[in-house]
């Protein structure tokens, strides 16, 4: 291993150690909760996903949910009108 590769490897390890210590320091310094959550999500989340083989599932898309509600509303209104016009 040449000297520059060794220096890069050492620098990476140092950065990882600093990142690991940031959430603990933030908690000790009473940083805002949002900042701590962001640090934890960036530092710990990917490690847990890798360690336990967790797959990230995207959230259910809101536009699709709204379109399903709209279709259900049209169906309900149509059935109501059909029933109402028959009895009149």
Domain ranges within the chain, ordered by starting residue: 1-57, 59-88
Torsion of Cα atoms, 48 then 51 then 55 then 56, to 10°: 20
pLDDT at res. 85: 54
Question: Where are the alpha helices (H) located in the chain, listed in sequence order?
Answer: 3-28, 33-52, 62-87
For the stretch 21-80, pLDDT in tens is 677 888 888 888 888 888 888 878 888 888 888 887 777 777 777 888 899 999 888 888
44: nearest Cα among 14, 19, 66, 61: 19
Looking up tokens 């520059």 gives: 4
Looking up tokens 């509600």 gives: 69
pLDDT higher at 46 or 84: 46
């Amino acid at each position: 291993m040449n000297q520059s590769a060794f220096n890069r490897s050492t620098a990476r390890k140092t950065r990882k150690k600093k990142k690991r210590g940031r959430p603990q320091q933030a908690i000790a310094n009473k940083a805002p909760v949002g900042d701590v959550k962001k640090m934890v999500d960036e530092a710990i989340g990917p490690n847990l996903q890798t360690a336990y083989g967790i797959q990230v599932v995207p959230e259910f898309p809101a536009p699709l949910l709204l379109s399903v509600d709209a279709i259900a509303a049209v169906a309900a209104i149509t059935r109501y009108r059909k029933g109402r016009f028959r009895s009149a």
